[in-house]
Amino acid sequence: MLESKDFTLFENQIKFDIKGFIIKLAGYWKWFIMSWIVAFLIAYNVNIRKEKIYELDTIISIKEESNPFFTSNTSLVFNWGGTSDQVQSLASTLKSRSHNEVVVDKLDFYLDYLKKGDYYLMDVYGSVPFKVIIDKNEPQLLKTLIGIKFVSETAYEVSVIFEEEQAETFLYGTNSSTRKGVSSGTFTKRFNFNQPIHLPFLNIKLEKADFIGNYIGQEYFIKFNKFDETVTKYRSIKTTIDKNAQSIIKLSLEGTNKNRLVVFLNETVKTIVKNQLDRKNQFATNTIAFIDSTLLAMEDKLKDNENELKNFSKNKNYYQINTGGSQISAKILAYEVEKDGINRKIAYYKSLQNYLVNSVDFSKLPAPSVAGIDDPNIAQNVSKIINLSTERAQKPYLVKNQKMFKDFDVQMDALKSVLLENIKSAKSSLEYDLSLVNTKLNQAESEISQLPVDEQEILKISRKYDLNNTIFTSFLSKRNEANIVKAANLADVHFIDPAKDIGAGQIGPNTKVNYVLAFFLGLFIPLIAVFVIFFLENTVLNAEDISKLTTIPIIGIIGMKQTKSNLAVFEKQKSSLSESFRAIRSSLQFMYKKQKIEGSKTLMLTSSISGEGKTFCSINIATVFALSEKKTVIVGLDLRKPKIFDDFNIKNDIGVVNHLVGQKTLDEVIQHTHIPFLDVITSGPVPPNPSELLIGESMDQLMINLKERYDYIILDTPPVGLVADAIELAPYADVTLYIVRQNYTKKEMINLLNNRVQREELKNVSIVFNGFENRAKYGTGYGYGYGYGYGYSYIYGNYTNAYGEDEKPKTLVGKVRKYFKK
């Protein structure tokens, strides 16, 4: 059954040490600075290497414009439509392939004008000293830079680099590509302005443009692109319908050259205005075309009639001949005009009927009024079917919706059915009227037959002339009427705000976003790295880590030193670091007193592995005892890696090894230091059998002799986690200090210490937490070469500020840190 302590253990295992992680992060502050520097440099280079992107716009409105000359009495009928459908249709048209093909072809926007910049080729359309005139019926070099370098005010050099012996060319007249044979290498040739260039791969002419500045010696580039690819690019134009005003459309386009954007936006609107107006005038245009063809035929007839009348009247008195039958002639002419009108109506109906039955395109139908048909139903239905036919012809370029085509077909079929029924009834009525007119004509002509022959002939010729002249005059009147209506028409599309470069419009690259991304990347990359290190290293970061892992008390906490040598206490006796060692001395004296140890006292220092500061702590603990005028000796028992001699400027030629093997006496191996009351016995030469020397009888005798001479004996031993030498020396020690270094000692090593203590291999053990600082740079400098600085004392589990003299920081960072501490 699980007990409460099991849950406590589990809680401790999954608890995240936030404080330790923050301390770890603070230690790597330089990583963050370097990461930010690199990230911001990358962002800066990305920003300056990216070409600027602009977005310009224009605003148009759709408003139904009424023709001031169009009234209910006008003989021509036009379908004006409504704005609701026009707005959606217009927005789609502006993005259509067919519309953009017209605009791109008119502006020659498949041609790029370029100039080398610092990091990329810049689009310099509108700011070059020349304009390229393209021969669209001849091939042009495709997707290859064509250099144009001006050598004088009138001459320039064309240069092209060919990497292969064939080059792709494009024929814009037929929208097709071909390949031409060329010579690999660099082609160069000089030309003058306005001189046509006729080459197998290039057929253009350069005209001089208005340009401010010196262009001689400057080099520009032109590049031809495929027509369809360019059209696809400009179909990305955005059309936004205003939610508050449904008749307002905002057009916007993105690009790298504002001149090009302005020209395209304004031209695309001008093109749509022209197309819309042409469509609006379609009915009148068809009518004018029909009348013009009729007038040509009537003009010939009039000339023939006039010639015939002149020839007949030659050598005859025309007025005497014509006097008797003038009244009858006027009556017959009226009947013939009426008959001609009826026949024209019937002919129009027959033509319209055949057109509806046999054709699918009704956009070319003339207005019924040209034949004198004033039936409003027929006129309106013809207008509607022309409009539907024109709109349907444009739909394949706008949408790919079969349902929409079916809807158009259904509407057109319905109109055709109505028109065919109207035609049928109208023809029946006209045929009846025609029979009545024919009867009247027959009666009138019977009266003329009683007149003299010459008078009958002159009346016949005059009637034909007058009839044709009346019809001709009538058609002229209708044509003038159609022209007036057409000229008075206004487009329903209007500019509200034409595109214009006013200096703004840049939308990219978004440098702010790049810098924000650089900030977060510079933050998160080292953050993740430190996070990984924090878990992989598994080192002791603070005293709380030690308390969680063991019940062995912490006797003191030692900070980082600021001196070059390890004699930190002796060189700066009033520093807070010195107070930390004095606090440890006080704790040790209390422990000796508690154990009732009289006379000489022995202290052993060991650790888990090399580099945790045993020698540093041994020297400075011995120094604080010596400064209290206690005879103290440091015995270097790390026979494998001796180090204790360097800081005292003594040699390691002879030492404890020489004494243990009987080569030297104790007096010969004891070396006095410049610190009063402090002696040192170095380890001496490295022996082949360190462990065997330490467990021999000579070691026992050495310790007896040292206790007779010194008050305190400090044993500097090897790491207990690496070799067993310290375990062999443990019986000689009254107290053992186990050195744990911040961010260096592994947590697993504390478990090893617990096992040693449980097996009673080490007794009277206390822990010294070495190398502690709150905002240190952790994770670097393994070995004895690390530094020590401002410290804190830790006595019986409580932190207290050391009452010492603070060292003055030498670096700017140290001064700033001290300022914020205060």
574-625 tens-digit pLDDT: 888 899 999 999 999 999 999 888 889 999 999 988 889 999 999 999 999 9
Whether the per-residue pLDDT at 795 is higher than 50: the answer is: no
Whether the per-residue pLDDT at 520 is higher than 70: the answer is: yes
**Virtual torsion, Cα 199, 205, 208, 210, nearest 10 deg:** -120
27-49 tens-digit pLDDT: 788 999 999 999 999 998 888 88
Whether the per-residue pLDDT at 789 is higher than 50: the answer is: no
630, 742 contact by CB (below 8 A): no
Q: Identify any residues that bridge with 606 across adjacent strands, giving them in sequence order.
A: 738
* Of 143 and 432, the one with more pLDDT: 143
Percent of the chain that is helix, strand, coil (3-state, to 5)? 50, 20, 30
The pTM (predicted TM-score) of the whole model is 0.57
Distance CA 592, CA 794 (A): 18
| 419 exposure class (CB count in 10 Å sphere: 0-12, 13-18, 19+) | buried
419, 338 contact by CB (below 8 A): no
- HEC sequence for 199-259: ECCEEEEEEECCCCCCCCCCEEEEEECCHHHHHHHHCCCEEEECCCCCCEEEEEEEECCHH
pLDDT band at 561 (very low <50, low <70, confident <90, very high): confident
For residue 648, which amino acid is it?
A: F
Q: Which residues contact 215 (CB under 8 A, 6 or more apart)?
A: 129, 150
pLDDT at residue 816, as a whole number: 61
227-250 tens-digit pLDDT: 999 999 999 999 998 888 878 999
Distance CA 75, CA 379 (A): 9
Ordered DSSP codes for 40-102? HHHHHHHHHHSPPEEEEEEEEEE--PPPTT--TT-SS------HHHHHHHHHHHHTSHHHHHH
Q: Where are the beta strands (DSSP E) in 407-505?
A: 493-497
Residue bearing tokens 């009495």: 73
Whether the per-residue pLDDT at 369 is higher than 70: the answer is: no
Other CB atoms within a 10 A radius of the CB of residue 323 amount to 10
Classify the C-alpha dihedral 637-640-646-647 as positive or negative.
negative
Mean pLDDT taken over the chain: 80
Distance CA 251, CA 64 (A): 20
Other CB atoms within a 10 A radius of the CB of residue 68 amount to 10
**Residue ranges of the domains in the chain?**
282-488, 540-821
pLDDT at residue 643, as a whole number: 80
CATH class of 540-821: alpha beta
pLDDT band at 460 (very low <50, low <70, confident <90, very high): low
Residue bearing tokens 């502050």: 29
Tokens describing residue 539: 């080192």
Return the top range by mean pLDDT from 342-346, 355-359, 682-686. 682-686
For residue 14, which amino acid is it?
A: I
Mean pLDDT within 356-382: 71
Mean pLDDT within 759-785: 68
* Of 306 and 434, the one with more pLDDT: 434
Whether the per-residue pLDDT at 140 is higher than 50: the answer is: yes
Q: Identify any residues that bridge with 248 across adjacent strands, giving them in sequence order.
A: 61
* Of 95 and 349, the one with more pLDDT: 95
Return the SS3 of 623.
helix
Tokens describing residue 227: 């027509």
Instruction: State the DSSP H helix or E strand holding residue 55, giving kind and residue range, or none if neither.
Output: strand 53-62
63-73 tens-digit pLDDT: 766 554 444 44
